[in-house]
Chains A and B, each alone.
Chain A
Amino acid sequence: MSDPSSVGGTNVEGESPQIEPTVETDEATITDDAELERTLGLTGGLAIGIGTMIGAGIFVFPGLAAGRAGPAAAGSFAIGALVALLVALPASELATAMPKSGGGYYYISRGLGTLPGAVVGLSLWFGLVFATAFYLVGFGYYAVDTLAELGVTVGDGLVIPLALLFGASVTVLNVTGTENAAKLQNGIVALLLSILIVFLGYGGLDAVGLVGEPSAPEQFAPFGTMPVLTTAALVFTSYLGFAQVATVAGEMRDPGRNLPLAMVGSVLVVGVLYVAAIFVATSAFGSERLAGFGETAMVEVGRHYFGSIGAVAIVVGGLLATMSSANASVLSTSRAIYAVSKDALLPRRASHINLRYGTPHVALGMAGGPILALVATGRVELLAEVASFLHLIAYGLLCVALLALRRNEPAWYDPDFRVPGYPVVPILGALASFVLLGFMQPASQLVGIAIMVATAGWYAYYGRDVTLKGVVE
């Protein structure tokens, strides 16, 4: 084994990036003296992508989005899907070239250098923290509605306490180990998809006038195009899950085939569902009334089409979906922290795991603590936009990293999947990601920029001397 201190520099605590030569096969990653089994299949990858994404777009955003953009909110979701797809393709190429845990951070630090890598790596941590807080607040709204359906009216005052309670339990559950969590997640995703397909199938037929009564026509974009774009920026949080697939790239069997399929496939599946959901929701009520229902507007849509059974189905779906998104994001957060600390940009002890439970308790705490603090603010739109902001920066840079790697094509760069339409797709992906940033509320942009400046400052203080192998200058 080569002495890592000679290749990677050290941080202020004298720790160096842990980089060892590895051989990647379809079934395992082989290091000098150990092997890492690849245990996730395509279904598992799709479940991670869909399970992370499916919560927000359908169960939290329809009311908010329709209030801003009218029926054209469906267009906002389509724009989001398009941007996600433009990023998912380059991300797939990078993931098959570097099928290791770490995702976006890993590709950017190897493609563009340590500073952008550090900023993205640490920003992704915070981005996921914001996203998780957002999912948890959504969960709170659904929990209150569930109680209401059960006949216990508690009012919105309990939204935040319930979200905090659930956020704390998710963290504790993950520290003590979740046996069969993946199987449970697969089951939840399958159940959600079934509920949604029945619901959207019938609702769609009704909306186009094939069954039921014709609905009153409404102007498609009553507020013009600008709100459609700002809404796209807001709802982009709904599409953050596809990149989570890349964070488990090191555990996926046959990554050359399964990674692109899981990433692109999950974006397509949820994109179609989102656009259909908004279409059905705005057809049922008209956007003004829909906006009045707020975060749980879909429950009323369910009631409209199927009576109280529909409302209960949507409430259950909303609980499951926000739960699975929150859980998946907590896990991704701890993985993001691990990837960065492995490269000595955070203290090594941040990624320690305890032998009793086999879980990274420090990293999970570093996820859970800030998440609870943010949940307490209860600012749904701000949380969602900051999460999108930090992810979009990473996505844009990821496309740039692909361009940089392809220009210099180092010897180790040998992806199994190559982006179709190179260089147009990654260039469009980068542009689309950065342009979407411009349509966010100033407050979200400020918080996002502040976090990035802080992470750059941390790098300058802590890891300035670290250089990462595979960097293309």
Chain B
Amino acid sequence: MSRVLVPLAILESESVSTGLPTLLATMDVTVLGYHVLPEQTPPDQARLQYEDRATDALVDLEAAFEAAGGSADHRLVFTHDREQTIDRIADDTAADAYAITGTTGPVDRFLVTLSGDVAVDRITAFVTELVGDREIGVTLVLATDDEPSGRDSLEAAADSLAGHGIDVATELVVGEPPLEALLAAAVGHDAIVMGEQAPSLRSFLLGEDAERVAAESVGPVLVVREHRDETAAE
């Protein structure tokens, strides 16, 4: 089974909405409770005081994921650096995706974006497993300037999903910025699946695409990670 990491600022009462455990019922879930401390506070000092409170909250969340039918465990980390912690735990648990929790009820249909330089095979494999044998529909969206090859790649992905009995729709957007195209297509969908992209100057300036999508689409965003070993070998 694939594993999804769900990072939560646990002591700031960040939690998951009811739809997310149901959506992730086909996955192994690791709930990562983290607490970010200012530089002047040793992480251990916060652990002494807040470990029990945080663990209680995490055990409750774990139970929520298991009640929805998935399998779940949790990790608790006190840190100065949120990104570093998420990366380390994702590597540590060999997570295939991480979730940016948004607000959603039951998910009937979610949006998958294949725009940009992402590992399409890994995304479709993940989506296939995520849907499983449930009645959840998938819309594939691809924004590109190269219409013929975009159409090919979109149809190949749709065929592969349809082969597993998934209800697939496709949407090809030509000549529009991928992020805007994605957000426009997100209307009427309950969640978004996207691939992790290499950090670019733009993501450095404006924040990661995934964070921006999550902020603007309100619903949960699942980010399929790059395969670290493959990228290292290239």
Q: Footprint of B on A, CB under 8 Å?
A: 18, 27-29, 31, 33-37, 39, 100-101, 174, 177-179, 181-182, 248, 250-251, 331, 334-335, 338, 342, 351-353, 355, 357-360, 364
Contacts and interface: CB of A to CB of B under 8 A. Distances in A.
A35 B41 contact: no
A251 B80 contact: yes
B81 A33 contact: no
B169 to A, nearest CB: 42
Given A18-B48, A27-B88, A355-B11, A35 B76 contact: yes
Contact of B40 (A28, A29, A174): A174
B39 to A, nearest CB: 5
A359 B80 CA distance: 12
Given A34-B54, A36-B77, 8 more contacts: A34-B77, A36-B47, A179-B38, A251-B43, A342-B44, A351-B45, A355-B11, A360-B41
A34 B51 contact: yes
Interface in B84-113: 84-85, 88
16 contacts: A28-B77, A29-B44, A34-B54, A34-B76, A34-B77, A37-B88, A179-B38, A181-B39, A248-B42, A251-B80, A338-B42, A352-B49, A353-B37, A357-B38, A358-B38, A364-B40
A358 B39 CA distance: 9
Give the size range of B's interface with the partner.
20 to 34
A248 to B, nearest CB: 8
Give the most central of A100, A352, A359: most B CB within 10 Å. Answer: A359
By Cβ-Cβ distance, the 3 closest A-B pairs, closest first, are A37-B79, A36-B43, A34-B76
Contacts of A181: 38-40
Contact of B55 (A33, A248, A338): A33
Contacts, number: 92
Contacts of A29: 44
B1 interface: no
Contacts of B76: 33-35
B46 interface: yes
A351 B43 CA distance: 12
A338 to B, nearest CB: 5
B212 interface: no
B79 A36 contact: yes
B164 interface: no
A110 to B, nearest CB: 16
Could you say which of A36, A331, A335 has the most chain B C-beta atoms within 10 Å of its C-beta? A36
B227 interface: no
B80 A353 contact: no
A182 B37 CA distance: 13
B77 A358 contact: no
A28 B47 contact: no
Contacts of A338: 42, 45
A358 B47 contact: no
A250 B11 contact: no
Given A35-B77, A36-B78, A101-B44, A177 B38 contact: yes
Given A36-B78, A39-B81, A358 B44 contact: no
Contacts of B50: 355
A171 to B, nearest CB: 11
Given A36-B79, A182-B39, A353 B44 contact: no
Contacts of A359: 38, 40-41
A34 B50 CA distance: 10
Nearest to B50: A355
Nearest to B42: A101
Given A174-B40, A181-B40, A251-B43, A39 B49 contact: no
Contacts of B85: 37
Nearest to B77: A35
Given A37-B79, A37-B80, A342 B48 contact: yes
